[in-house]
């Protein structure tokens, strides 16, 4: 590939080169770090000549439209929709449910029975598991008093 001088890169930025030469230079920028370094030096040289976008929001919207087919403001609306989700979709709700279930299992002694071996759950006295959980919960609450 051809090596371009600093003046060539400045002419590229000003848009005074032939279209095919510009395409060749863009291709070189994609593949050569040395060309990118020359381009950055040329960018510093013409920094005062380059126009600033008049309205940064309009510029950002136009770039987003060209890149992704949507505006920057519409992506903001999408994030607003995420903030207005239902209470049962919030992660804290799920954490609370998981913690509650874990707490019930802890006070019922299910984890204590698991440490007794594989047959510990089968060796429980007959009756409802719910009654057993409730009795253990009340005995735990009585112990706290």
9 and 34 in contact (C-beta within 8 Å)?
Answer: no
pLDDT band at 48 (very low <50, low <70, confident <90, very high): confident
- The Cα–Cα gap between 138 and 134 comes to 6
**What are the Cα distances from residue 130, in Å, to 32, 127, 135, 137?**
72, 9, 9, 10
Q: Is the pLDDT at 135 greater than 60, yes or no?
A: yes
State mean pLDDT over 6-27: 89
- Report the pLDDT value the prediction gives residue 98, as an integer from 0 to 100: 93
State mean pLDDT over 91-99: 91
pTM of the model: 0.39
- Report the pLDDT value the prediction gives residue 134, as an integer from 0 to 100: 84
């Amino acid at each position: 590939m051809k090596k371009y001088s600093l003046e060539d890169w400045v002419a590229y930025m000003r848009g005074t080169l032939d279209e095919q030469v510009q395409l060749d230079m863009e291709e070189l920028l994609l593949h050569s770090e040395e060309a990118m370094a020359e381009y950055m030096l040329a960018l510093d040289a013409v920094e005062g000549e380059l126009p600033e976008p008049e309205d940064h929001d309009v510029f950002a919207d136009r770039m987003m439209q060209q890149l992704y087919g949507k505006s920057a403001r519409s992506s903001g609306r999408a994030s607003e929709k995420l903030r207005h989700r239902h209470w049962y979709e919030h992660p804290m709700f799920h954490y609370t449910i998981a913690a509650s279930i874990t707490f019930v299992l802890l006070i019922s002694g299910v984890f204590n029975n698991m440490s007794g071996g594989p047959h510990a759950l089968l060796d429980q006295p007959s009756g409802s598991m719910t009654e057993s959980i409730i009795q253990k919960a009340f005995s735990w609450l009585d112990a706290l008093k």
